[in-house]
Amino acid sequence: MPPPSSPRVCASCDLVKKNGDNKLKECFSCSRLYHLRACLNASESRAAVVEDRTDWACPDCVLCELCRKAGKDNSMLLCDGCDRGYHSYCMSDSTSIDDPKWLCPLCIKSRTARKRKHSESMQSPSKSSASASPAKRSPLKMADAKTTGTPSPIKKSPSKTVETKAMIERRVLNKRLAEQRSPRRSTGSAEEEGPAYELHELALPDDLALFQEAQKRLAADNKREAVLSPKTEKQICWVQIGDKELRAWYPSPYPDALAHSYRVYVCEFCLKCILTPTLLRRHTAKCPWRHPPGNEIYRDGNISFWEVDGKLSKVYCQNLCLLAKLFLDHKTLYFDVEPFLFYIMTETSVTGCHMVGYFSKEKESLMNCNLSCLLTVPSFQRKGYGRLLIDF
């Protein structure tokens, strides 16, 4: 059997318990144990603080908190509040170090803050009671003041809080914003129906001009969109692919922001559906694709066929299915594209390979009929591309 482990004892008295003190504190540096109250003569407040410290060092290992060096016993001062050490020559001359209950600057600062907080909490009830019941001047004193001619003492009103420039600006801005949010009474004039504050007081001239120009552009775009997009329609009616604008025949399960818009824009290379022409221009400038992802398996002149695996190019195939649903009534495949292969026919130009049509088939079909769907984009119909897709 292994020998029993020896009990942990104090390094000063070699005892586990001395004078009723059985709490041992371990030194952070040398791992020796000490009785704080019985052997190191620590007060209750000092012992409570030391027990919570994890970086406490014994008198043999203590370092100066300012220079982080050890010193002789006569030059090292131990704080009576937290047991931290300081060299007498590291402390400033203004600090009193002759007191046997000497406190370090950290303890003095914390105790001063606690006293200030306590005094403020004691004064706050008296201030509130004084403000709630103001003292009244007695009529006897008023009569004495009139007869004797000596004025009665007048109580001074409490001084008001001095407002800084930032506080004044914040108060003025909050007032203006509150006026803007509150409904204004219309008197029929166009000036009173404007905003509740002037922008030139809050913004630089260049920023104001840029904001007004953006407002004019937004108003023009909204007006043009209102003309082109009647509010009676709640599904996609027109889709623009490249420079071709096509009429949508059937609804497609796009996200709500796209499915409820009157007109959408589709990138002709990655087939991503976009809400506004501005976003389309930004996307086209950054889109790295110029042909469908996959392998080119056939080429004849400017006509090419690309084989795309739904598992490898899932996002592209989902965009293709959502776009095809706008022109196919009974298409039910939108998102589960991994078991299918897609064959996209493209027409090559200087800018890239533009989709003409496609057909898809299952990778493994139990019914030996793996053709899923076939589509020719309406702008390329009546040119024989559908027959080529069937023959392929």
Taking a C-beta distance cutoff of 8 angstroms, is the pair 334, 321 a contact?
yes
Domains of the chain (ranges; CATH) run 238-391 (3.40.630.30)
Query: What pLDDT sits at residue 7?
Result: 65
Q: What is the mean pLDDT of the chain?
A: 76
Query: What pLDDT sits at residue 198?
Result: 58
Query: What pLDDT sits at residue 136?
Result: 47
Question: Which tens digits make up the pLDDT trace of 133-190?
Answer: 444 444 444 444 444 444 445 544 444 455 666 677 667 766 766 766 555 444 444 4
Query: What pLDDT sits at residue 318?
Result: 92
Question: Which tens digits make up the pLDDT trace of 23-47?
Answer: 787 887 787 888 777 787 777 777 8
For the beta carbon of residue 331, count every other beta carbon within 10 angstroms: 17
Rounded to an integer, the average pLDDT of 50-79 is: 75
> Is pLDDT at 248 greater than 80 in this prediction?
yes
Q: Which residues contact 347 (CB under 8 A, 6 or more apart)?
A: 302, 303, 353, 354, 356, 380
Question: Which tens digits make up the pLDDT trace of 83-125?
Answer: 787 777 777 654 555 556 777 877 887 778 877 777 777 776 5
**Is the pTM for the entire model greater than 0.95?**
no
Q: At 186, list the tokens.
A: 């219309």
Rounded to an integer, the average pLDDT of 315-319 is: 93
Confidence of residue 195 (pLDDT cuts 50, 70, 90): very low
Question: Which tens digits make up the pLDDT trace of 335-361?
Answer: 889 989 999 999 999 999 999 999 998
For the beta carbon of residue 336, count every other beta carbon within 10 angstroms: 13
Query: What pLDDT sits at residue 227?
Result: 61
Question: Which tens digits make up the pLDDT trace of 255-297?
Answer: 888 888 888 999 999 999 998 888 999 999 999 999 999 999 9
- Counting residues of the chain whose pLDDT is more than 90, the rounded percentage is 20
